[in-house]
Amino acid sequence: MNRIIKGTLLGASLALAASAASAQEYTLNLSTSQVAQDPLVIAMQGAKERIEERSNGAVEVTIYPSSQLGEDNDVLEQIRNGAPIAVLVDAGRLAPFYPELGILAAPYLVDDYTQYSAITESPVYQEWVDELAKESGIRLLNYNWFQGTRQMITKKEIKAPADLDGVRVRTIDAPSWIATINAMGATAVPMAWSEVYSAMQLGAIDGAEAQLTGAYGIKLQEVATNIAFTNHVQLFTGLATSEAWWNSLPEDIRAIIEEELKAAGEEATRMTAERLSEVQAEMEEAGVTFNEVDLAPFREATNKVYEEVGLVEAREALAPYLPKN
């Protein structure tokens, strides 16, 4: 009897040890510049829970909001070195590694965020994603996280491109973004998102272009007085990770991560779209004035961006999937 008991206990101990050894075999760090209260981070939290549950604890997911792992460009370099990180970035930041992808952050590419799915489901887009992985070691897992429509957030009212003359506007540190803001009439100032509030407060910049949820998240309503609906970019972003790390994962683990992060992107998009009107109302209550603009002059002014940053052929390749104007 004692031998049976001892054998049973030994077997249980070995099973527990094996279970402990298999737990948390893989780690995934999710990085974003957005604050913890942003719909994108909330959606990430849901994905974390589902990935850990579906993998029976084999994958441990940690979320780092507010650029805690570094600014996006720095995190991309960590990813290229094989770090188990997925960073939420716009394609403009990926353009230095594969230029064609920069078109996904080009001005007035689509009229509405719902039109992006035709692009990201196209064979042209998938080919670009595969080439990006091959040439840079960066694997773009998805591109379905809508952060909002980019608007001009300033200390003065903006009605036309001429009103932006001499106005220093923070933008993303990527070629297509810088070219877009300069073409709109402003002076582009590349700057980390975490520095924007203090820069506006101290007068180092006169404004920023951003989506409403992001601006509200860092309380730009406290240092800006006007938001013009320029609608210059429908900001979608995607999770980029290390191709080497991704290929090191078992197929079933990759499937779980990919499925849940895609579902999280869809959830983040839904929550962001629902939150926009509420954020606008709260910013208006804080004293910010919103105004519509005639988009035609801004469209015309930024059309040269495609040639300036070498995206004419990319736009032609996507033509069958773009809205017909």
Question: Do 269 and 287 sit in the same domain of this protein?
Answer: no
Domain-located, residue 89: yes
Question: Do 212 and 241 sit in the same domain of this protein?
Answer: no
Question: Do 310 and 185 sit in the same domain of this protein?
Answer: yes
Domain-located, residue 12: no
**What's the rounded mean pLDDT across residues 1-6?**
41
Residue numbers of the domain that contains 248: 23-147+236-277
Tokens coding 234: 């429908």
Q: Backbone dihedral region of 172: left (phi > 0), alpha (psi from -120 to 50 degrees) or beta?
A: beta
Domain-located, residue 1: no
Question: Do 204 and 307 sit in the same domain of this protein?
Answer: yes
pLDDT tens digit sequence for 95-141:
999 999 999 999 999 999 999 999 999 999 999 999 999 999 999 99
Question: Do 247 and 309 sit in the same domain of this protein?
Answer: no
Question: Do 161 and 304 sit in the same domain of this protein?
Answer: yes
Question: Do 34 and 176 sit in the same domain of this protein?
Answer: no
Domain-located, residue 14: no
pLDDT tens digit sequence for 254-311:
999 999 999 999 999 999 999 999 999 999 999 999 999 999 999 999 999 999 999 9
Question: Do 49 and 91 sit in the same domain of this protein?
Answer: yes
Domain-located, residue 18: no
Which residues on adjacent β-strands are paired with residue 235?
Answer: 148
Q: How many domains does the chain have?
A: 2
Question: Do 154 and 34 sit in the same domain of this protein?
Answer: no
pLDDT tens digit sequence for 167-223:
999 999 999 999 999 999 999 999 999 999 999 999 999 999 999 999 999 999 999
At residue 69, the pLDDT reads 97
How high is the mean pLDDT of the chain?
Answer: 92
> DSSP labels for 41-83?
HHHHHHHHHHHHHHTTTSEEEEEE-TTTT--HHHHHHHHHTT-
Question: Do 213 and 265 sit in the same domain of this protein?
Answer: no
Euclidean distance between CA atoms 244 and 136, whole angstroms: 11
Question: Do 219 and 139 sit in the same domain of this protein?
Answer: no
Query: Which pLDDT band, with edges at 50, 70 and 90, does 1 fall under?
Result: very low
Domain-located, residue 181: yes
Q: CATH number for the domain including 292?
A: 3.40.190.170
Query: Which pLDDT band, with edges at 50, 70 and 90, does 325 fall under?
Result: low
Domain-located, residue 143: yes
Domain-located, residue 3: no
pLDDT tens digit sequence for 201-213:
999 999 999 999 9
| Chain-centroid distance, C-alpha 189 | 19
Question: Do 217 and 130 sit in the same domain of this protein?
Answer: no
